[in-house]
Structure formats: structure tokens, C-alpha cells
Structure 1
Amino acid sequence: MSNTVIITDTSCDLPEEVVNKLPVIRLKMSVSLKDNPGDDISYLDIKEFYDKMRRGEIIPVTSQVPVNVFMTCFEELRKEGKKGIVLGLSSKLTGSYQAALVAKETTKADHVKVLDTKCASLGTGLVVYKAAQMAEEGRDFDEISREIEFYAHHMEHIFTVDDLEFLKRGGRISGAQAFIGGLLNIKPILHMVDGAIFPLEKVRGRKNVVKRMVEIAAERGKNLENQLIGISHGDNEELALELADAMKREFNVKQIMISWIGPVIGSHSGPGTVALFFQNA
């Protein structure tokens, strides 16, 4: 095992049991109520969180990892003689990346590298998972940084949401883009481009969403059979499992990690979201 530790945040949506087995530090991005920013609701059971969103009982908002939290983390690693690689949510979606850069400069943390993954949810999670595995294998700090940046920047994010209004409310897409989603059982498919969210196309109905997401994977994916594929969902396990089965049938995929979309990402994507992550190179 190397002396490299992977630093991420609570938007990465890696299952708890996976994080606990790896050299990973997960910093908190707070989730609170829009009308009461001081009221932390990240403690809510994830099913309860989505049920409350569906009923309109909560309007959650999120906050970046504070600079001082990064500073404390970097100083603790220095004392322990360890190095750290920061792999968090895309800089287009949070201020955490800039906060980490400020903390690195302030603390003169030459033992820390801050990378912009340009990923979100389990897309970030798969990047963190791979980097942590490399650290466990004893790979060199610079080698991990170099390889993981390539891996992150070739991570495809293909996802569908039940209601684009949540992304609009959080400023992740425009009102005009949100309008298309609620019409006549139209299901939007979105993707990430250079770390930002964009609508990709529209399909009619649940069945066609899975079919089209698998087709996009065929168009963009490379060597899918031998990849670790990621699927995350916002209280929509049934559709996530349908997608997983379809990926196995079409591409003989052997490894799929399925996780819940946690409150940080779920605050913006809303209940019902299902996302697919794979490598395009």
C-alpha cells in the first residue's frame, strides 16, 4: 500500500461499505432547507428524503466543502506523512474544487494534488474507487494522479430524471430546457459535457429510456464487457435494475456497481433519477 490517500466529498455516491474498506477521506457537503439554511437534513434516511421531496415537504439546498475543512484535512495528512489526491464533484457544479485550490495554496500543501474530475454522483465515485484501488496496490502518487485524470475525463454520464424542475431550481439547467420534460410522458435523457449538464434527447416512456440509454452506451462505450459499470438512482431501484439487466444482456458486462444517489446530488436531480456511468476510451 502506498502513502497516498484519496480525498473526496459526499456527492460521490459510493456505497458506505465500499468507502470504509479503502484509503478514502470523504468530506461533507452540507444539505439543508432552502428556507432555513442552518437546518442540516443530511441525517434523513435516504428513502425518507426522497419521499419528502415528492410530497413537496422539503426544498433542499447544498453547500460546498468549506476551505477550512480542506485545510484541516491537508494539515492532518502532512502530520501523518501522507499525500492526498482530491477527487470531488465537477467544478461546473460546485465551488468545492476552488475551495480545495485555495486551501492547498494557503497551507502550502505540496503533498496534495487537486484534480477537477468533471464528474458527478457515482461517476465521481468510480473515479475515487479506481484511484483508491491503485493506492492500495502501492502505485506511485504521480502515477495515480496521471492515470486517474485520464480515467475521470473519459467517464460518460448518461441519465434520466422524472422532473427537470429540480435541475432548473438548482440552476443546473435553464428554464427553457426544463420545459421539455413534463410533456406527454416525455422522458429526457441528459449527459455531462466537460463537467456540465446538458439535455441530450427526448424519448417517450420508461421502456424506451432504458433501450436508448443502452444504445448510447453502445455508441460511446469502449470495451464495456471488461469495465466496472456504475448505475445510481434516486429511489428508482426497479428502473436501475432493468438498466443493469439490459447492460448485461447487450454487452456481457460482468461488474456493475449500483448505488443510491445521495442527498447532495439528489437535491438537484430529484426523485426517480437513474444514471449510467462508463468509460468512452
Structure 2
Amino acid sequence: MSPAVIVTDSTATLSEATAAERGIVVVPLQVVIGANVYDEGAEGATPEMVAAALREWTPVSTSRPTPAALAEVYEQAARDGATEVVSVHLSGEMSGTFESAQLAAREASIRVIPVDSRQVGVATGFAVLAASDVLAAGGTADEAAAAARERAAASSSLFYVDTLDYLRRGGRIGAAAAIVGGALSVKPLLQIQDGRVASLEKVRTTARALSRLEELAVQAAGDRQIDLCVAHLASPERAEQLTGRLTERLADNLEGRAVWCAELGAVLGAHVGPGMLAVCVAPRL
């Protein structure tokens, strides 16, 4: 194992193959469906399970990894030969995971650098990969942490939801905003801003919302070199169509790199609901 190791959480949406290839340790968050508790992942809570439960109005909630769980991950890294850990997590405004990392870091036998990405989902994942690239190139743990923060801050997370109800239920958006949205029958476009879900635009139809999401992604890319991900929950056809259009329109920005099209993980899916479509535009460092 490298003297420095990267730890992240399951909401970063890294594939098992990518994490294994790069030596990234992924700690799962939990999903509570009814009375059952599952770790997020292929062997536990899947997006399909969450979407089905939400449609059936089965109670769904999520919980962070405990400080003790993260402390054990850090100690295992130390036993495997690591001398430092860079621990990159989803926004501390949205989850207590970063706080757990901070608490565990204080007791760790090796140096741990907790990083609040101030992002969610794939934007956190791209930040993790930026940190991994720095370590692979011989950089220090501090340089890797700085790269993660820089890429996360430069990334744009834009998304559409069919309804604000799921965000309201999970406390991720105010009840008043959800009620107004429902009353006006608007289709909300949202963004991650300062680590929180924020309103971006409101349009009247789903078709208009998806067209606008595409335009906003193109604007966010500008003339920069980017990595791009389209994510969805239980909406694969919409996601594939958007992926195709953005692949064509942003060909110069991508320089042959494929657009990553994936289903949103179970934890984030629990808060946005079926029909969600998101785009993450991550400028390359």
C-alpha cells in the first residue's frame, strides 16, 4: 500500500473496479427501508430498491457511517503500511459523514486529512479521482487534498427532479419551497451551491426542463476541458438521450473521453426520488 491512501464514501459513486484499481477505500453509508438497514452498494441497498420503496410510500431514510467505522478504516490503512490518509466526502451541509471523518481523524494513529468536497455524488467522485491522480504522480497527501478541493469547487452539479416532495421529506429543501413548487406545478432545476441544494430555475414542462438542463451543462463547460457525467434514478431513457446530445455538443471539451452515464446511488436517490436527472460538469485540473 502507498504511504498515503485515499478514503471516500459510497455516495461518490465510484465503481468497484475503479476503486480497486486505484487503491481507494470506499466506506458505505446506510439506507433504512421500512425497518431494515442496508449498506449502500450492490450487495445491500440498490437504486432499484430505493425507487421501488419510494413509489410504494415505504419510509426511506439514510444514515452516515459512524466515527468508529471510519476510525477502523483508518487503522486498517495504518496496519497495511499507510502513513497518511486523505478522506474525501460529500458535503458536510448535507450529511454528517464529514463530521464523522473529523472525529475519527482526531483519534487516528496516523495523520488523516478530512476533506469536505462541498459537493454530492459524482462531483465528489471526480474530486477523489483528482486526489488519486496527484498521489499516482508522486504528489504529497496535502497536494492531493488540495486537488480534491479545487476540482470539487470548480465542478457544477445541476439536476432536475419530478417533484420536490422527496427533498422536503429528507429535510434537504424547505417545506415552503416544496409547497410553492407543487402549487404552481413547476418543474424545478436545482444545483449544489455552497454545499447545499439551491434553486436554479423553474420551468413549466418536463420537456422544457430537460432541454434547459442540457443548455446549462453546455454553459458550465464553456471552452474548458472537462469530464462529464449524466446520472439518473429510474429514468434510463432520459439519461441516455441527454448523454448522446451532450457527447455531440461537447465533443471538443471531452477530446474523446466518454460521458459517464450512471444510475444515482441509493443514498442520494432516497432524497431526490424516481425521475431525477443530473449532470455533473467537472473541469480537468
| TM-score, L = length of structure 1 | 0.89
Match of 1:92 in 2: 93
Superposition RMSD in Å: 2.2
**1:2/1:140 contact within 8 Å kept:** no
Per-residue CA shift, 1:79-113, capped at 9, x if unaligned?
A: 23312111111000111111111111123542x11
**1:122/1:259 contact within 8 Å kept:** no
Distance in 2, matches of 1:12 and 1:69, equals 18
Distance in 1, matches of 2:45 and 2:95, equals 22
**Displacement of 1:137:** 3.5
Match of 1:209 in 2: 209
- The yes-or-no answer on 1:275 pairing with 2:278 is yes
**Displacement of 1:131:** 2.1
Structure 1 stretches of 4+ with a deviation exceeding 6 A read none
- The yes-or-no answer on 1:12 pairing with 2:12 is yes
Match of 2:151 in 1: 151
Partner of 2:11, secondary structure, is coil
Which residue identity does 1:272 align to in structure 2? Answer: G
**Displacement of 1:184:** 6.8
Match of 2:244 in 1: 245
Match of 1:266 in 2: 269
- The yes-or-no answer on 1:39 pairing with 2:33 is no
**1:119/1:195 contact within 8 Å kept:** yes
Which residue identity does 2:87 align to in structure 1? Answer: V
**Displacement of 1:46:** 2.9
**1:2/1:136 contact within 8 Å kept:** no
Distance in 2, matches of 1:223 and 1:151, equals 16
Distance in 2, matches of 1:99 and 1:41, equals 16
**Displacement of 1:47:** 2.0
**Displacement of 1:261:** 0.9
Runs of at least 5 residues in structure 1 that lack an aligned partner in the other structure: none
**1:126/1:230 contact within 8 Å kept:** no
Q: 1:271 to 1:4 in 2, by over 3 A?
A: same
Q: 1:140 to 1:30 in 2, by over 3 A?
A: same
Distance in 1, matches of 2:229 and 2:223, equals 14
**Displacement of 1:136:** 3.1
Per-residue CA shift, 1:220-276, capped at 9, x if unaligned?
A: 33435x311112111111111122122123221443112211111111111111111
**1:158/1:191 contact within 8 Å kept:** yes
**1:87/1:115 contact within 8 Å kept:** yes
Distance in 2, matches of 1:10 and 1:279, equals 19
Per-residue CA shift, 1:104-137, capped at 9, x if unaligned?
A: 1123542x11111001011111212232233333
Match of 1:196 in 2: 196
Distance in 2, matches of 1:88 and 1:236, equals 26
Distance in 1, matches of 2:211 and 2:283, equals 19
**2:173/2:197 contact within 8 Å kept:** yes
Q: How does 1:1-281 map to 2 (within 5 A)?
A: 2-33=2-33, 36=35, 39-40=37-38, 42=40, 43-56=44-57, 58-82=58-82, 83-107=84-108, 109-110=110-111, 112-182=112-182, 186-224=186-224, 226-252=225-251, 253=254, 254-255=256-257, 256-279=259-282
**2:29/2:39 contact within 8 Å kept:** no
**Displacement of 1:41:** 7.0
Distance in 2, matches of 1:52 and 1:134, equals 40
Distance in 2, matches of 1:222 and 1:84, equals 34
**Displacement of 1:141:** 1.9
Q: 1:180 to 1:14 in 2, by over 3 A?
A: farther
**1:15/1:259 contact within 8 Å kept:** no
**2:151/2:282 contact within 8 Å kept:** yes
Runs of at least 5 residues in structure 2 that lack an aligned partner in the other structure: none
Distance in 1, matches of 2:163 and 2:261, equals 22
Distance in 1, matches of 2:61 and 2:165, equals 14
**Displacement of 1:194:** 0.9
**Displacement of 1:180:** 4.0
Distance in 1, matches of 2:25 and 2:219, equals 35
**Displacement of 1:64:** 0.9
**1:162/1:272 contact within 8 Å kept:** yes
Q: 1:229 to 1:137 in 2, by over 3 A?
A: same
Partner of 2:21, secondary structure, is coil
